[in-house]
Amino acid sequence: MQRICVIGGSRYFGKLLVRHLKAAGHQVTVINRGSTVPPAGVEHLVADRNDEAALTAALGSRTFDVVVDQVCYTPVQAAIAARAFAGRARRYVMTSTIEVYDPATAALPVVPAGTPVPEDIVDPATWPVAMDLPWHDDAYLEAHYAEGKRQAEAVFTRAGGFEFAGVRSAHVLGGGAQEFTGRMAYYAGRISRGEEITVHAEALPTVFIHHEELAELLLWVTTADFTGPVNACSDGPLDVYGLATIIATQVGREAVYRTVPAGEEASAFSFDRHYAMSNARAKQLGFPFSRTVDWLPGAVVEALTTESSATP
């Protein structure tokens, strides 16, 4: 049994992770702002992670084997957490994102299309950190989501005082109404209604992960001993056309496309630039991934069922 603290953990795969940790026999503490109460048997601390004094007061004298941070988006938040948990945790795990590799958001080494992107393309040990940017501004943060995650990883990597691992998640799907981005529901709904979806003529593949698989991977990371970033994605990249074909098969209709030139905005999973991740490191460390094409049809059905139940 380990003492594990989850920051966030109130929705989607974070909520599932908390249940998995409890079922595995761990002593679990959840920290959030109080809007969602965790399951019975899970300790609940109410604090705003942006308020260092309040966070430190809520922690009291508690110590943890592992902290899993589900809601860190900026280097400022990372610095607050690093100070608050210094001497309190042996291991710190941050949920990061595939978006750290998006070449449209930073000057990154070029990875040829078709070559899965490895972790060392973005090295948090050397990534520059700028605390004085307007990270408190919601509009700025939304526009600089990828950079916020890169810099947060960098802060934790250099903090010392605990082992650090960053889980760079692929696009998360599945769970029906739980999938708060609504992207699967968008595609499933439009294709089932015969409405067009906007795509690039030469759309490049990306990678996905099922929300249950991501929760299982995070559970695995709490007991692993590696440090540094690790990519989390199911086997088998898909471009937007492959995704739409699987959805169309489930709904019994053909997908209707409207193509736009490279550089113009298209629907969520149509990419005119390459940053599909490699999951080789996680596999070498011992995590067995599923295949995207095996779970995606079920995720489509969940999305359609959710949309149907929500329609008056």
Instruction: Provide the domain count of the chain.
Output: 1
Tokens of 70: 């589900």
What CATH number corresponds to the domain at position 53?
Answer: 3.40.50.720
**Predicted model pTM:** 0.95
Secondary structure of the chain as H, E, C letters: CCEEEEECCCCHHHHHHHHHHHHCCCEEEEEECCCCCCCCCCEEEECCCCCHHHHHHHHCCCCEEEEEECCCCCHHHHHHHHHHHCCCEEEEEEEEEHHHHCCCCCCCCCCCCCCCECHHHCCCCCCCCCCCCCCCCHHHHHHCHHHHHHHHHHHHHHHCCCEEEEEEECEEECCHHHCCCCHHHHHHHHHHCCCEEEEECCCECECEEEHHHHHHHHHHHHHCCCCEEEEECCECCECHHHHHHHHHHHHCCCCEEEEECCCCCCCCCCECCCCCECCHHHHHHCCCCCEHHHHHHHHHHHHHHHHHHHCC
How confident is the model over 47-59, as a mean pLDDT? Answer: 95
pLDDT at 307: 55
How confident is the model over 101-120, as a mean pLDDT? Answer: 96
Tell me which residue range forms the domain holding 101.
3-310
pLDDT for 308 beyond 70 = no
- What confidence category does residue 306 fall into, taking pLDDT thresholds of 50, 70 and 90? low
pLDDT at 175: 79
How confident is the model over 19-29, as a mean pLDDT? Answer: 95
- What confidence category does residue 58 fall into, taking pLDDT thresholds of 50, 70 and 90? very high
Among 157-161, 173-177, 223-227, 281-285, the range scoring the smallest mean pLDDT is 173-177
- What confidence category does residue 34 fall into, taking pLDDT thresholds of 50, 70 and 90? confident
